[in-house]
Structure 1
Amino acid sequence: MSENRGISKSVLYLMSASAGFVVANNYYNQPLLNLIANDFDVSEAAVSNVPLFTQLGYAFGLLFIIPLGDKFPRKKMVMIDFIFIIIGLLAMAIAPSLPILIISGFIVGFSCVVPQVFVPMAAQLAKPENKGSAIGIVMSGLLIGILGSRFISGYVGEYFGWRAMYYGATAMMLVLWLLLKLKLPELQPDFKGTYKELMRSTWHYFKTESPVRLAALRGGLGFAGFSAFWTTLVFVMEDNFNYGSGVAGAFGLLGIGGALAATVIGKLSDRMNKNNLITLATVIMLLAWVIFEFSGNSIIGLVIGVLLVDMGLQSLHITNQNIIFSRNQNARNRINTIYMVGYFAGGALGTITGAYAWELFQWEGVASLGLFYTIIILIAHFSFKKTESA
């Protein structure tokens, strides 16, 4: 199966499902934070280090692992990476203390970068006219994994304990490893230099590709607000509504509607002006954060806000990726590295600032923080969008 001959639906949907289940490992912890804090008898700020270091691990994995997709055969790379995912998840399941859990979370984040191999693979394998659609399908799986993970872990944690979630995740990764071993096509690399040259060329693309830098800034700020919301939702559910992890996790199901919009946006981004799509997506997120400002004691307001913020962020994300994958096609993994490092560095920023905004100003502080990040997206987009090809 080679570039531009297309990709079978079965392989595309396997990649989509795998992306979802793998990325979910990074987010199981969020609805479980109260349970973990109670188990280890630590504060909300201290337990927030678990998602923080998981996201930092993901950013480092994107930086140091994903560029290798331009140098080594992709399937072999995925198979090896899965071994480290399994080790990290098992370590989280048996962690005897919070520091060990934090370190294990970093390992999980560092190794769970497989979806960011699948996205450029889908772009490479798809026919040119179907590139946006293929990216959208894989991203829909990834985004449903992010959102569904919170629903699953919330209820598993509530009824079976937080450790059970990580034992189950370990078993799921073993199943996926076998399916991918049997079905995933191999793609040979384009880059023939050393690892040092590979990383140097990644830095070169960062310096010279202003559209990629702008996409990374937009994505990172959008994900910062998103992460601040999900890190603190479990706290507002307990403090303001007296609900447990199960209800907090159930909010993930609401966001799946927004994630499913990724397939539609993928198709639209093949035909419509991408700058206009990005503006629309950011305005939708802005509206979500305004609604959140007045929803600290309103479940209905939170529900509407979740639907809008997910739809806006996923639309922004898909359009960003279609822009960057249309450039430098022999360096897709390195280009994706630049974008996704910015994206998840933003997520780590949102996690830590969201935790402190909650401790200092409660829900209104979190909503104001998300609003601030989204306004910066609009300012940056209108200031620099002329530099990119839409």
Structure 2
Amino acid sequence: MTTITQSQSPTTDTTDTTDTAPPLTRPSGGGLLLAVIALCTAVTAANIYLAAPLLGLIARDFGASPSGAGWIASIAQLGYAAGLLLFAPLGDTADRRRLVGVLSAVAGVALVAAGLAPGLPALAAAVLVACAATVVPQLLVPLVAERAPADRRARHVSTVVAGLFTGIVAARVLGGLAAQAFGWRAVFFGAAGLTVAVGLLTAVMLPAETRPRTAANPFKAIAGMPGLFASSAGLRAACMRQAGLFGAWSALWTTLTLLLTDADGPYGLSLGAAGLFGLFGLVSTVAGPVTGAFVDRFGAPRLVTAAYALTALSVPLFLLGGHALWALCTGAVLIHAGLMAGQVANQTRALAATDKPAVANTTYVVAAFIGGATASALAGPAHDHWGWPGVCAIAAAWVVAGWLGGLLVARKGQE
């Protein structure tokens, strides 16, 4: 755990955020600007999960089976992953004001195309483009971290991360309710309007940058990611730890609907009622600012330990929740609090670990995404073969692997 401690020292923080990045014309941590950035993060992040609650209506409209339309949600994740690799690293070299504006406009046009799609292939193509362009949050997080005062960096980062989780919750809960009232196409049209409006507002409000810019070359940035990952033990530890936390959350949260809606199971809820269970995700929004303050005061290592403790405690509660609703609800609260604590602490650590925060942030998010996607992919078959206990076993394995892997990387780094 000493890896994080040293990189959180005042000397390292000052070097990473001040010496290697020329100052902006006005601080990025201003209250109004920070609020707008958080709002932009929420609106754009919602686009990644927008299709998930609409799949039933989409399948019925196009005359497809629910499983036949289910791959649209996977296309959204694929598009986001592609956008992370292509666009997020450009935050170190390109004009972020222009990049945020262009990506917001492209995402808006693609969402309109999704709302007009005549069939599943056209819808999939539009969703792919929209989600590839919706990586704006990963351009804004490094900006906030770079320009925030060292003693308040985690609090500022946590505000933006809380916006991201709020967007995820809104997409799953409000998107489904809006689709029931107005149809799934209206949801895409509404998301397009919000994305363009908030994205362009954010681009206008972002402070002008005085740093020297180089020609934007995403492939050069991608090629540099393995070397950056290999050279920074702190970045590797942050990636490993968050992959474990996000994997545990993904395994449980993506398959929870199967438990809640199983007609032969203990709950037998409707899809609408099961969707409202996503409101527990608001715990992440509430925990964000508190977590950021704790990271600034006590340091990232203690918060990472607390995050793993909360997540580890949630797993047996989820197992018990296979038959007890109170345990399921308690586990949901704990795992969201743990995920948020780990996200803020690990992302703050990753951003301070190198002098290339945008590339480091991309590496970090991709690693967490891989951990979550792999756990989700295994959770479905585990549920088919061993039921809900099999899903909980996958989550437990990710908690153990993430903690031990991060500890081993930190010790090898000799920091």
* TM-score in terms of structure 2 length: 0.85
Counterpart of 2:158 (choices 125, 128, 136) is 136
Is 1:185 paired with 2:211? no
Answer with 1 or 2: which has the greater Rg.
2
Moved more, 253-262 or 27-36: 27-36
| C-alpha displacement of 1:15 | 0.1
The CA distance in 2 between the partners of 1:310 and 1:273, in whole Å, is 20
Output the amino acid matched with 2:269.
Y
| C-alpha displacement of 1:79 | 0.5
The CA distance in 2 between the partners of 1:188 and 1:229, in whole Å, is 45
| C-alpha displacement of 1:307 | 0.9
CA gap 1:158/1:303 in 2 versus in 1, 3 angstroms: farther
Is 1:217 paired with 2:240? yes
The residue aligned with 1:229 is 252
| C-alpha displacement of 1:81 | 0.5
The CA distance in 1 between the partners of 2:385 and 2:119, in whole Å, is 27
Aligned residues of 1:155 and 1:249 also touching (Cα < 8 A):
no
CA gap 1:60/1:319 in 2 versus in 1, 3 angstroms: same
Counterpart of 2:221 (choices 198, 204, 227) is 198
The CA distance in 2 between the partners of 1:205 and 1:221, in whole Å, is 21
- Superimposed CA distance per residue, residues 90-147 of structure 1 (whole angstroms, 9 cap, x where no aligned partner): 2332333334333333222211110011111111221222211111111111111112
Aligned residues of 1:52 and 1:348 also touching (Cα < 8 A):
no
The residue aligned with 1:125 is 147
CA gap 1:289/1:45 in 2 versus in 1, 3 angstroms: farther
The residue aligned with 2:394 is 369
The residue aligned with 1:342 is 367
| C-alpha displacement of 1:23 | 0.2
The CA distance in 2 between the partners of 1:4 and 1:184, in whole Å, is 9
| C-alpha displacement of 1:297 | 4.0
| C-alpha displacement of 1:29 | 2.6
Structure 1, unmatched stretches of 5+, are none
The CA distance in 2 between the partners of 1:86 and 1:56, in whole Å, is 18
The CA distance in 2 between the partners of 1:389 and 1:265, in whole Å, is 27
Aligned residues of 2:234 and 2:353 also touching (Cα < 8 A):
no
> Secondary structure at the residue paired with 2:398?
helix
| Coordinate RMSD, CA, aligned | 2.6
The residue aligned with 2:180 is 158
- Superimposed CA distance per residue, residues 297-325 of structure 1 (whole angstroms, 9 cap, x where no aligned partner): 44333221211111111111111111112
| C-alpha displacement of 1:60 | 1.8
The residue aligned with 1:385 is 410
* TM-score in terms of structure 1 length: 0.90
- Superimposed CA distance per residue, residues 13-37 of structure 1 (whole angstroms, 9 cap, x where no aligned partner): 1001110111011112333344444
CA gap 1:388/1:148 in 2 versus in 1, 3 angstroms: farther
CA gap 1:377/1:213 in 2 versus in 1, 3 angstroms: same
Structure 2, unmatched stretches of 5+, are 1-22
Is 1:172 paired with 2:194? yes
The CA distance in 2 between the partners of 1:287 and 1:144, in whole Å, is 24
1:1-390, aligned counterparts within 5 Å?
2=24, 5=27, 7-40=29-62, 46-189=68-211, 192=214, 195=217, 196-239=219-262, 240=265, 241-329=267-355, 331-386=356-411
CA gap 1:245/1:108 in 2 versus in 1, 3 angstroms: farther
Aligned residues of 2:90 and 2:216 also touching (Cα < 8 A):
no
| C-alpha displacement of 1:247 | 2.4
The CA distance in 2 between the partners of 1:227 and 1:105, in whole Å, is 21
- The ranges of structure 1 where at least 4 consecutive aligned residues each deviate by more than 6 angstroms after the TM superposition are none
- Superimposed CA distance per residue, residues 171-218 of structure 1 (whole angstroms, 9 cap, x where no aligned partner): 211321342243222335556366254343333212211221221222
Output the amino acid matched with 2:191.
A
The CA distance in 1 between the partners of 2:126 and 2:32, in whole Å, is 33
- Identity level (%): 28
CA gap 1:181/1:210 in 2 versus in 1, 3 angstroms: closer
How many aligned residue pairs are there? 389
Aligned residues of 1:4 and 1:127 also touching (Cα < 8 A):
no
Aligned residues of 1:85 and 1:111 also touching (Cα < 8 A):
yes
CA gap 1:6/1:86 in 2 versus in 1, 3 angstroms: closer
Aligned residues of 1:31 and 1:246 also touching (Cα < 8 A):
no
Aligned residues of 1:225 and 1:350 also touching (Cα < 8 A):
yes
CA gap 1:194/1:160 in 2 versus in 1, 3 angstroms: closer
CA gap 1:367/1:269 in 2 versus in 1, 3 angstroms: same
CA gap 1:44/1:237 in 2 versus in 1, 3 angstroms: farther
Aligned residues of 2:79 and 2:132 also touching (Cα < 8 A):
yes
> Secondary structure at the residue paired with 1:253?
helix
